[in-house]
Amino acid sequence: MTTETLNFQAETAKLLHIVANALYSEKEIFLRELISNASDACDKLRYAALTEPELMADDADLQVTLTVDAEAKTLTIADNGIGMNRDELIENLGTIARSGTSAFMDSLTGEDDKDVALIGQFGVGFYSGFVVSKLVDVTSHRAGEEHAWTWSSDGLGEFTITEAEQARRGTTITLHLKDEEGEFLEAHRLRSVVKRYSDHIAIPVILTAIAADPVEGENDEEAEEPQDEKLNEASALWARNKSDIEKEQYTEFYHHVAHAFDEPWSTVHVRAEGKIEYTMLLFIPGTPPFDLFHPDRASKLKLYVKRVFITDDCENLIPSYLRFLRGVVDCEDLPLNVSRELLQNSPVLNHIKNALTKRILSDLEKKAKKKPEDYAVFWKNFGAVMKEGIYEDYEQRERLMKLARFRSTTQGDDLVSLEDYVSRMKDKQTEIYYVTGDDIDMVRKSPQLEGYAARGIEVMLMTDAVDDFWVRSVTDFDGKPMKSVTQGGTALDDIAPEESSEDKPEAAPEGDTSSLIVLLKQELGEAVKDVRTTDRLAESPVCLVADEADIDINLAKLLKAQGQDMGPNTRVLEINPRHDLIKSLAKSAGEAGATDRLADAAHLLLDQARILEGDPVPDPAAFARRLSQAMNAKFG
């Protein structure tokens, strides 16, 4: 038989290194991962057999088998599931050529404890076998196909593929254990690991008979024949009574169903009875999945019908803004041979989706009220996704807005709700003020916030990309409209007049200011939409804002970054009539020759406003020339 030698994909080699180091302190997890993969293979076969019953006609009893060969120092994990052919072995074990690869690799930090939490999510728990093995052989026979194949590697850079002899379908993984890993050849050790990590697996995990050393004086006839041993309960965990399930069992089932290593933040186990019967066992992860913001926004919940796995890609099972949920939904009222078309239009699934959504939101509301610190952890992990629901789910919008949390200009790093904000609004304040941006530190420094801060008016700080979209779809909260501080005009002195104006700088005379505005408009022309004075500035001389009817500044940046043609994107230049620079320019604006003398100053003001917004200066050479001339005039 011909043996092919192939190289691991570069990312796979990196993962092998991470797994070998990160899992070393908990190396027994390899058995959990391999048993979990075997269980998934059996689920896939059972689903395929719904339309092709011949695939499992000759061997309908699905199971995972552990076999020890103490002399050869091997541990074998075998299943009679769907199996893999040659191409699938190469794709699944030798490469990571699938959607989300780049996002996954970018998410790796180099810190073992963080990286290991991501490894299982990407479906590469198989590589944990190399933690205890010097060589791994995988022989697999795809159900319904003729040939079997063996994949073999020492995990150091290459692997081989050879045609093999294996009559039955399924996959057999043989671990050639390192010399120091003899504990995994002992029956009591395997029992302990399986009981701890895999008791929830819904198919039997069998330890084949391990012959005990003969007792002195006992002949072969007297020796008791060793028996195969079932190591797990082999019943669907979600079908058991909640009172019979320990917290540790829920955690290990979460690890299995989510391919995760972290602790679940929350667990929801519900059995619904009535016209429609179903069970939900759902988990909110403790850490965000690496592909949380992948464009396909796919659900990872597993749908079962009468304990039979159907799919883990059912887009109508949960709204996309809850896609971080992991777990299972088992329905009694769908046909086993349910088609994808039926799933997309099923009133049964619509009912479950609505009930699931309401239950999760209800649990989050309770957590937000009773354990705000815990809820803050959840929001930091998944708030950006939840806010997609404010934009998309009109029916649940009000509840989602109450669940939303934000930073603000007056509360430091604490998260605040919209209800908190409204309770602190100033007298005569009728609007909820917010500002959007990419970075919290940059947003805090926005010049448009100065006037609000000087008057003690709270502004919500929003830094998720979705914020620019949902605020445009929401008319108000609790009757208070949402108002961007970088769009439209202001009337701040009407909201919160200052108690004392003794320390307040005097504004430039109105006539001088008007002359300066005329000069700026004339010189800047179509580079600005308008020039006007403002009370939103306190320390800065100028800023840019969007006109009331135009797209807000940060949203325009986002759309442009996505390749959308925004056309002319001129802004309103606002000037601070109390700033010394503006007062000086205003005084000069009424003098003879001001147009020529202040022409460069006009462009420098506009470029300064652009820089404050993080925008590029359109003509760096002209900017540098004007700045040099201004400095020379001052110091030359």
Q: At what angle do helices 347-370 and 372-392 cross, to 10 degrees?
A: 140
Maximum alpha-carbon separation in the chain: 122
* Closest alpha carbon to 374 in 249, 264, 461: 264
* Closest alpha carbon to 376 in 404, 338, 411, 335: 404
Domain(s) labelled CATH 3.30.565.10 in the chain stretch across: 3-215+222-235
- Taking the mean position of all CA atoms in its chain, how far away is CA 407? 20
What CATH superfamily is the domain 3-215+222-235? Answer: Histidine kinase-like ATPase, C-terminal domain (3.30.565.10)
Supply the CATH classification number for the domain 239-368. 3.30.230.80
Second CATH level (architecture) for the domain 510-547+557-635: Up-down Bundle (1.20)
Using DSSP, state whether 479 is helix, strand or coil: coil
Domain(s) labelled CATH 3.30.230.80 in the chain stretch across: 239-368
Residues 6+ apart with CB under 8 A from 240: none
Q: How far is CA 155 from CA 158, 201, 376, 626, in A?
A: 7, 28, 41, 62
Rounded CA-CA distance 595/523 in Å is 8
CB 544 within 8 A of CB 609: yes
Using DSSP, state whether 3 is helix, strand or coil: strand
- DSSP codes joined into one string, 158-210: EEEEEEE---SSEEEEEEEE-GGGGGGGSHHHHHHHHHHHSTT-SS-EEE---
Number of Cβ within a 10 Å radius of residue 387: 26
Domain(s) labelled CATH 1.20.120.790 in the chain stretch across: 510-547+557-635
CB 39 within 8 A of CB 135: no
The pLDDT value recorded for residue 124 is 55
* Closest alpha carbon to 358 in 258, 276, 280, 277: 280
* φ, ψ dihedrals at 353, nearest 5°: -60, -45
The pLDDT value recorded for residue 316 is 85
Could you give the strand order of the β-sheet that contains 64-69, starting from the edge strand earlier in sequence? 3-7, 158-164, 148-153, 133-141, 170-177, 74-79, 64-69, 205-207, 229-230
> What are the average pLDDT values for consecutive 10-residue runs of the chain, which has 636 residues?
77 66 72 90 90 89 95 96 93 59 58 57 71 94 94 88 90 96 94 89 88 54 71 89 92 89 94 91 93 86 86 87 95 75 81 95 97 96 96 95 97 95 93 93 93 93 93 92 91 70 79 94 94 93 91 83 74 94 91 86 94 90 92 80
The pLDDT value recorded for residue 104 is 56
The pLDDT value recorded for residue 110 is 61
The pLDDT value recorded for residue 17 is 67
pTM of the model: 0.78
The pLDDT value recorded for residue 97 is 37
